Amino acid sequence: MKTIRVSIIGFGAVGQGVARVLIDKKEYLEKLGLDFRVVAVADSRTATINENGVDLSAVLVRKQSEGVVGSEKLTGLEIIETIDHDLIVETTPTNIVTGGVGLQNMLAAFKHGRDVVTSNKGPLAMKYGELIEVAKAGGSRFRFEATVGGAMPVLNLANDVLAGNTITNVEGIFNGTCNYILTRMMEEHAPYEQMLAEAQELGYAETDPTYDVEGIDTACKLVILANCVFGMNATHEDVTITGITKITPEALLLAQNEGYVIKLIGEVNDSRINVAPKLVPIDHPLAVGGSLNVASVQTDLSGPITVTGRGAGSIETASAILSDMISIYRD
Amino acid sequence: MKTIRVSIIGFGAVGQGVARVLIDKKEYLEKLGLDFRVVAVADSRTATINENGVDLSAVLVRKQSEGVVGSEKLTGLEIIETIDHDLIVETTPTNIVTGGVGLQNMLAAFKHGRDVVTSNKGPLAMKYGELIEVAKAGGSRFRFEATVGGAMPVLNLANDVLAGNTITNVEGIFNGTCNYILTRMMEEHAPYEQMLAEAQELGYAETDPTYDVEGIDTACKLVILANCVFGMNATHEDVTITGITKITPEALLLAQNEGYVIKLIGEVNDSRINVAPKLVPIDHPLAVGGSLNVASVQTDLSGPITVTGRGAGSIETASAILSDMISIYRD
């Protein structure tokens, strides 16, 4: 049995999802020879630390009832710098302007030779090159499948499963909120504002939906794909972006009558990174409904490979984090 | 640079595809630190051997012009047993009754501690348990992504990328010939026999199409999935099979009017392995047209993950073999 000492830094929906998954999958992981021992958990205000293993069930209960994970006043950064452990699960809120606390956490982790698995897009969309360089210098492993498309495994598909292929283009739907709103606008012939309100009620959209509906979230994911799959050194300023707020039910109906749907499509290849609403034939693999995400990877040998999955959700995102954790430490 | 000494045993469409891909990807593979040196190539009648590396371009030309790969009379089995090398690419014609020469080749390879990558379904559909056991005993690596769905990467997706998930069900279209015939019958409102003839003319169907249209090919792939993903010890006798020969254009039209297509769906879970034509809603991820393959993997954490790709083709199948080769030897 290999024991990996883990900290979970950031304990919102995704961090809590990781805790739940580690509890539920304990036996499964032991069969793989892996004992992920969580020695520290931090949220934005408090921390809990136990070198023999934090009681994750108790932490989840406390977070639900008291809104905090513990009584200690250490920050995530202090944990990363002072507690002896192997892997940081970085799940703090994303910040796409500065990279935020997540960027500091990841850089500190690498400087201390620790591995990082994250769902935090901001630092990767802002400072990809620097992060990869510092990780390499420290001999750290760094994986981030959960940053693009939640449970839809596009990064590991492109880089691992399709090894041997040259990827020439990636396009897809990378934002479930936009897909939900556009799907519902078409189904109900209803205006954008009405379906946005429905999405907000159901928890598919934030109170301030700008980040999703203006295409910024999609742009961040494309930047990560551009850097990770195409070896660019892009930031979100390199992306041409049009959002979905100007789409009308009339446009959707016209499209439908011609056998098309309108989707917010992100596309990246070695000459451009673009987010815009596009017409997609209704029987095309990219024409998936609801809040699904989908990515079509164009390859030189295998032709197009398309993968569809849930782009968000606490457990779904945690599952992508868990796959990365297994992939690093499994023999 | 790591040098891996390789034999290609079987030099039909797939074996030739592997040779072409190894020529085209030489530089790409060197960047990964991999030198796949082909020291022997065998077809059913002849062989060519060179411990410093066979000239693959010359072998391809000779196969095209003379119908044979060389002048030596060694069989594939003799090469596996007597030539010092690391990896067998086993691409002999498949045999689903006895496992055929492929089964003997793989067992011999493992007894000599060599690794095997294959596209040859028969041995895996017949003797999965024995093959895995002998491979393990010899310390050999054994990968076979190309046996299920050609370039559609369902095995490595389920076992590697989705690690951490428990797979509860896999269903999909695993035979491009049937998908082509059913898609064209619907498009043209034409009978089965006519579209079979078209598929034969275009090279999508064999002169004797039984293996494809009666669902036997799909059944073999399901058996491999059952064994590899669900840990069963099934053979193709455990599969309930209905083919597509009784589907009429009238049935397809009725389905279409209700918003459905009819597809030959293979399904496997821990209680059944089944091949049968099924109604699929037209906007469902499994409703892909043409000769595409598609697999939907149901997971406990990530929900359903669907992958679509080309199920056949010499280069597409070779690309799946190459990905497996890289996956074994890449650090």
Written as one string, the DSSP assignment of B202-257 is: TTSS-SS-HHHHTSHHHHHHHHHHHHHHH-----GGG-EE--STT--HHHHHHHHH
Instruction: Please identify among residues 297-326 of chain B the ones whose CB lies closer than 8 Å to any CB of chain A.
Output: 299, 301-310, 313, 315-316, 318-320, 322-323, 325-326
Rounded to whole angstroms, how far apart are CA atoms A236 and A274?
Answer: 10
All domains in chain B, ordered by first residue:
2-151+314-329 (3.40.50.720), 155-309 (3.30.360.10)
In angstroms, rounded to a whole number, what is the distance separating the alpha carbons of residues A140 and A116?
Answer: 8
Q: Nearest-CA distance from A237 to chain B in Å?
A: 31
Query: For every one of its 331 residues, what pLDDT tens digit does chain B have, with 9 covering 90 and above?
Result: 999 999 999 999 999 999 999 999 999 999 999 999 999 999 999 999 999 999 999 999 999 999 999 999 999 999 999 999 999 999 999 887 777 899 999 999 999 999 999 999 999 999 999 999 999 998 999 999 999 998 899 999 998 899 999 999 999 999 999 999 999 999 999 999 999 999 999 988 889 999 999 999 999 999 999 999 999 989 888 999 999 999 999 999 999 999 999 999 999 999 999 999 999 988 788 988 889 999 999 999 999 999 999 988 899 999 999 999 999 999 7
Residues of chain B neighbouring A141 (CB-CB closer than 8 A) = none
B266 is in an annotated binding site: no
In this prediction, residue A284 carries a pLDDT of: 85
How far is it, in rounded angstroms, from Cα B227 to Cα A80? 42
Name the catalytic one among A26, A221, A246, A263: A221
Set of chain A residues whose Cβ sits within 8 Å of the Cβ of B153? 157, 161-162, 305
Q: What residues in A contact B172, CB-CB < 8 Å? A: none
In this predicted structure, what is the pLDDT of residue B236?
A: 83
Q: In this structure, how many other beta carbons lie within 10 angstroms of the beta carbon of residue B304?
A: 18
Q: How confident is the model over A117-166, as pLDDT tens digits? A: 999 999 999 999 999 999 999 899 999 999 999 889 999 999 889 999 99
Flag if A163 and B330 touch (Cβ within 8 Å).
yes
Inter-chain residue contact A161 with B161, CB threshold 8 Å: yes
Among candidate residues A20, A322, A327, A320, the one with its CA nearest the CA of residue A147:
A320
Alpha-carbon distance A111 to nearest alpha carbon in chain B (angstroms): 23
> How many other C-beta atoms lie within 10 A of the C-beta of residue B51?
12
Segments of chain A with pLDDT less than 70: none
Predicted pLDDT at A195: 97
What pLDDT, on a 0 to 100 scale, did the predictor assign at position B283? Answer: 75
Per CB-CB distance under 8 Å, the chain A contacts of B313 are 303
Which residues numbered 48-87 in B keep a CB inside 8 Å of some CB on A? none
| Closest chain B CA to residue A29 | B164
Q: B187: annotated binding-site residue?
A: no
**Measured between CB atoms, does A331 come within 8 Å of chain B?**
no
Instruction: Kindly state the helix (H) or strand (E) to which residue B309 belongs, with its residue range.
Output: strand B303-310
> Residue B178 has what pLDDT?
97
DSSP state of B46: -
Q: Which residue of B89, B302, B317 to mutate against A (max A Cβ within 10 Å)?
A: B302
Of the partner residues A303, A306, A313, the one whose CB lies closest to the CB of residue B307: A306
The shortest C-alpha distance from A72 to chain B (Å) reads: 31
pLDDT at B81: 97
* Helices within A25-99 (DSSP H only): 26-31, 56-66, 76-82
By Cβ distance, the residue of A288, A305, A325 closest to B153 is A305
Contact between A157 and B153 using a beta-carbon 8 Å cutoff: yes
Respond yes or no: is residue A73 known to be catalytic: no
Residue A96 confidence (pLDDT) = 77
Q: Which of A182, A301, A324, A328 to mutate to test the interface with B (most CBs of B within 10 A)?
A: A301
**Cβ-based neighbour number of residue B37 at 10 Å:** 16
Question: Does the annotation flag B17 for ligand binding?
Answer: no
B10 annotated ligand binder: yes
Q: What is the count of residue pairs from A and B with beta carbons less than 8 Å apart?
A: 141
Between chains, do B302 and A322 touch, taking CB under 8 Å as contact? Answer: no
Residue A13 labelled as part of a binding site: yes
Say whether B303 and A151 touch across the interface (CB within 8 A): yes
Place of tokens 């946005």: A196
pLDDT recorded at residue A50:
97
The catalytic position among B25, B63, B127, B221 is B221
Q: Is A232 on the interface with B (CB under 8 A)?
A: no
Residue type, B88: I
- Rounded CA gap, B263 and B288, in Å? 9
Chain A from 184 to 223: CB within 8 A of any B CB: none
